[in-house]
Structure 1
Amino acid sequence: MDPVGGLLDPRARGAFVLRSLLSAPWSIRIADGAPLTLVAVVRGSAFLDTGTATATIVPGDVAVVRCSGPYAVADSAATAPQVTIGPDQVCRPIPGVVGTRPMGPLGLRSWGNDPDGATMLLTGTYHSPAEVSRSLLAALPELVVLRPGEWDSVLLDHVIREVDRDAPGQDAVLDRLLDLILITAVRTWLARPEASPPRWYTARDDPIVGAALAGIHSRPDRAWTVASLAAEARCSRAALARRFTELVGVPPMTYLTEWRLSCAADMLRRSDATLETIARDVGYASPFALSAAFKRVRGVSPRTLRVNNASTSRAPA
């Protein structure tokens, strides 16, 4: 796995994938707490407002919303929110708003206020992107909009064909299509001149540092040293240490520790593996060694992280 692949691990499994059919006036306040959402327009248009950024999207556009706080999606900037979507994905009317069509289910994976609505949106929500992709997501602005000429918008056609089918394995099909759209959108944005990708992202293209990063990302369980990473990159220890620090911003062993702990954090949150198994899989000789590194770098123990994550998962919406 690498941090880009980490966006999709676990992939969009169990993600909230929905088609919205809407007739104006309509406005929805999204307060589901999800850190990453894709919004695409099939027909009509939509106005997005995160509080600090706004955009109007039309057919073929895809918006990436990296905003865990409330944001609004509406037919226009002038329409006040009529309903709120909470963490449980339940639609609740906003008190005091009258004279609007009720919103609710309209069939398989469909929702809105009019089955023949002039606007059709596709929404896909990732509730728990991987810890290893944290720096990548942090490089994205709250709202990214890609127009048809900037990305492979043909992917939307596949989702449109699949979203109202009820064939075996359909949820998995939609999850994978959503993954393709997300990874394409993120890559496209990071290639823009105005983007500020994390330093490791651009360092991957360097023949020396890229080889060392590939080794760390794919095999965190190896007993890496600066010397063995230099051998992987076919250069001297001094050359690797100097170039790695210059391009990535931290020394190789510091980056290795951060990567191992991120991988461990994902395993703690997403599996029932024992601390001994996790320690071995991310390159620590014992659970004690992993715990010591966790407390030193992150300020909490692995067990505390796992317990806190379990408590959050069980909390009522």
Structure 2
Amino acid sequence: MDILGGLLDGPRADGAFLLRSVFAPPWSLRIRDRAPLSAVVVAQGSAWVVPDAGSPTLLEPGDLALLRGPDPYTVADLQGTTPQVFVEPGQRCVDASGRSMSDEMLLGLRTWGNAADGATMLVTGTYERASAVSDRLLRALPPIVVLRRGEWSSDLVTLLCTEMQRDVPGQEVFLDRLLDLVVLGAVRSWLSDQEDAAPGWYRAAADPVVGPALQELHQRVAEPWTVATLAAQARVSRAVLARRFAAVVGEPPMAYLTSLRLALAADLLERTDRTLTSIAREVGYASPFALSAAFSRERGVSPTEHRARTRAA
């Protein structure tokens, strides 16, 4: 797996919330679901995205917005329209008094809104939880990323809209994968346009010294790496690798490796029932005790507590 591929390997949709929303004005949604990542595409009409901090953005047909949580924001026909629906954690929709609006605004299979023939249609995909492996990526994203029509490939959204209206065996998994492709394509398009403003780990992939070193770390994370052995793989001295890695990526190579190992361990704890011994071996720790100590020190909870909390959530 290449560097970007490893970082984009999460979030992976697993029963993601997918919805077509159809509205006639006036309409306004206050989103406070605390989801780590949502994608909103305007299929027809237009919509304003109004964050609590930052400038409002008008989305027009074919535009896509990636919205990084957990901060709330508003999506509406006009900037000043008073919110009529509040989207709470778990995608629970209520009015200002707290009364449920979910059934009242249901318009059909995976379709919701205030008018079946409304002029505005949004396609929304929400990751209600994100893999720990994606933490580095999510931290790199601003609160809102907007890609205009023509800046990304919207063909998948057309397919997604069609498939959202089908109800056949295996459809939920199929839709999850389509959503992943939409989001990953959007992230790649955004990163490719950032140039010097892109995160260090992304720019590092093209660096003749740091790129090969990062590739080795991602492909063989369990190896007993040292700066010396990593420098040998990159065919430079220890001093050159350490200096160049820290300058490009923003942290020393061994700190990056520790972060990568613990993110992978957190992901395995959340998504599998594997033992701590098995996970420790896969991510490069000599024993479950060594992994537990590093995990607790860096994340403030033990591996067992992390597994219990994420599954409860």
TM-score normalised by the chain length of structure 1? 0.90
For residues 167 and 258 of structure 2, what CA distance do their matches in structure 1 show?
45
1:169 deviates by 2.2
Tell me the SS of whatever aligns to 2:108: coil
For residues 209 and 231 of structure 2, what CA distance do their matches in structure 1 show?
8
Alignment correspondent of 2:214 = 213
1:103 deviates by 4.9
For residues 286 and 51 of structure 2, what CA distance do their matches in structure 1 show?
45
For residues 197 and 175 of structure 2, what CA distance do their matches in structure 1 show?
30
Q: For the Cα contact (< 8 Å) 1:7–1:130, is it kept in 2? A: no
For residues 196 and 246 of structure 2, what CA distance do their matches in structure 1 show?
21
Q: For the Cα contact (< 8 Å) 2:11–2:127, is it kept in 1? A: no
Alignment correspondent of 1:73 = 75
Please list the CA deviations of residues 226-270 of structure 1 after superposition, one character each: whole Å capped at 9, or x if unmatched. Answer: 233223323333332232222222222221111111111122222
Does residue 18 of structure 2 align to residue 29 of structure 1? no
Task: List structure 1 runs of 4+ shifted beyond 6 angstroms.
Answer: none
Range that drifts further, 236-245 or 108-117: 236-245
1:9-28 matched pairs, under 5 angstroms? 9=10, 11-28=12-29
Alignment correspondent of 1:57 = 59
Please list the CA deviations of residues 194-252 of structure 1 after superposition, one character each: whole Å capped at 9, or x if unmatched. Answer: 87332111111112211111111122112222233223323333332232222222222
Please list the CA deviations of residues 35-62 of structure 1 after superposition, one character each: whole Å capped at 9, or x if unmatched. Answer: 1100001111111112113111111000
Q: For the Cα contact (< 8 Å) 2:11–2:134, is it kept in 1? A: no
1:193 deviates by 4.1
- Please list every run of 5 or more consecutive structure 1 residues that lacks an aligned counterpart in the other structure: none
Q: For the Cα contact (< 8 Å) 1:20–1:112, is it kept in 2? A: yes
Tell me the SS of whatever aligns to 1:266: helix
Alignment correspondent of 2:127 = 126
1:23-172 matched pairs, under 5 angstroms? 23-53=24-54, 54-95=56-97, 103-172=104-173
- Please list every run of 5 or more consecutive structure 2 residues that lacks an aligned counterpart in the other structure: none
Please list the CA deviations of residues 95-117 of structure 1 after superposition, one character each: whole Å capped at 9, or x if unmatched. Answer: 399xx9x9521111111111111
Q: For the Cα contact (< 8 Å) 1:3–1:133, is it kept in 2? A: no
Q: For the Cα contact (< 8 Å) 1:4–1:136, is it kept in 2? A: no
The verdict on how the C-alpha distance between 1:195 and 1:153 changes in structure 2, with shifts beyond 3 A counting, is farther
For residues 47 and 299 of structure 2, what CA distance do their matches in structure 1 show?
41
For residues 286 and 144 of structure 1, what CA distance do their matches in structure 2 show?
41
Aligned alpha-carbon RMSD (Å)? 2.3
Does residue 254 of structure 2 align to residue 253 of structure 1? yes
Aligned residues: 309
1:175 deviates by 1.5
